[in-house]
Amino acid sequence: MFVPTNILAMNSGLPETNFRFSNQIDFYRGKVRDVYIFDKKLAVVASDRISAFDVVLPHPIPYKGQVLNQLAFHFLNATKDVVPNWVIDSPDPNVTIGWRCEPFKVEMVIRGYLAGHAWRTYREGKRILCGVILPEGLKENDRLPEPIITPTTKADEGHDEDISREEILAKGIVGEEEYELLEKYTRALYQAGTEMARKKGLILVDTKYEFGTYEGKIMLIDEIHTPDSSRYFYAEGYEGRQRNNESQKQLSKEFVRQWLIDNGFQGKAGQTIPEMSAEIIFGISERYIELFEQITGKPFEKRSALSMEERIKNSIEANM
């Protein structure tokens, strides 16, 4: 792959922000996002950090944060009649302003196909995933008989862990009535996302949703249907590739995980993150942009790299 001269020097990405606002009451830095906390609102900055296996990789990916923020805003706006969500506005390509919700300590993962973590578990001979029994005779990327919900714990630090519905209820992590509503919302969102993907020639393979409460009302929070939270296959040729035992052509972050696996890294103790060359960084950036354009049907307009932090700061101040 040819990397245009000085492209990474021209836009090395946004690794982090470090603002302080007069009415700010707290700050949280996640794997990818910088969250500025106010009385009733949040200002969430999507940085260009990239994580895999719950580890933040050493180099930011140009335009990744913009892709994630604008895709999430696109889908949150498109599904607000399906499930209420936290978003108020997106005043900047890298910023979303929304209500400050109290998050549930679980992530609702839903899978329509046997891919990624589910396939790696199945390949090891296991047939129960998060309390869900998987049928025999499946191969990688096969469509499941019906979509399954495989929740994970929401870890403040370290790795998220698989957990079953029964364990969630037994431990009191979420009440039964609330959990039933989370499952209902998850299935409705996946159905909506599947239909939107189909119209763009894609298959929404699996995805995850996070929820919280604001003034007693359950709301969808965080991002949805982005390459960081979801996996997509190209629909054209899917059946043929499955019949021929070929890899599926996909748009997701799985290619980053696979590159790390191929280079001896899965986030385990003692493993070293492989060196990310300019070619790898540029390739990841282009894949994120490709997904944006494929899923929205719109050309991606690259933000200006000049005065990026000042622009982001000003957009937050004007909305708080």
Is 261 a domain residue?
A: no
217 shares its domain with 155 = yes
List of E strands, the chain: 26-29, 33-37, 41-46, 51-52, 55-56, 87-92, 95-99, 102-103, 106-113, 128-129, 132-133, 143-149, 152-153, 202-214, 217-221, 230-234, 250-252
Would you tell me how many other CB atoms lie within 10 Å of the CB of residue 5? Answer: 8
pLDDT digit string (tens) for the chain, length 320 residues: 444 434 444 457 899 999 999 999 999 999 899 999 999 999 999 999 998 888 889 899 999 999 999 999 999 999 999 999 999 999 999 999 999 999 999 999 999 999 989 999 999 999 999 999 999 999 999 999 999 999 999 765 556 789 999 999 999 999 999 999 999 999 999 999 999 999 999 999 999 999 999 999 999 999 999 888 899 999 999 999 999 999 998 877 778 888 899 999 998 889 999 998 899 899 889 988 988 998 888 999 998 777 889 999 999 999 98
Domain span at residue 38 reads: 12-101+278-317
**pTM confidence score:** 0.87
195 shares its domain with 245 = yes
110 shares its domain with 77 = no
243 shares its domain with 116 = yes
Q: Any idea what the CATH number is for the domain that residue 110 is in? A: 3.30.470.20
Cβ atoms 259, 266 nearer than 8 A: no
118 shares its domain with 85 = no
Cβ atoms 147, 111 nearer than 8 A: yes
**Predicted local distance difference test score (pLDDT) of residue 11:** 56
Is 183 a domain residue?
A: yes
Q: Any idea what the CATH number is for the domain that residue 20 is in? A: 3.30.200.20
**Predicted local distance difference test score (pLDDT) of residue 99:** 98
16 shares its domain with 75 = yes
Is 284 a domain residue?
A: yes
Provide the 8-state DSSP code for 238: H
**Predicted local distance difference test score (pLDDT) of residue 129:** 96
Angle of helix 254-262 versus helix 278-296 axis, rounded to 10? 160
221 shares its domain with 292 = no
94 shares its domain with 129 = no
Structure tokens at 320: 């708080």
Is 286 a domain residue?
A: yes
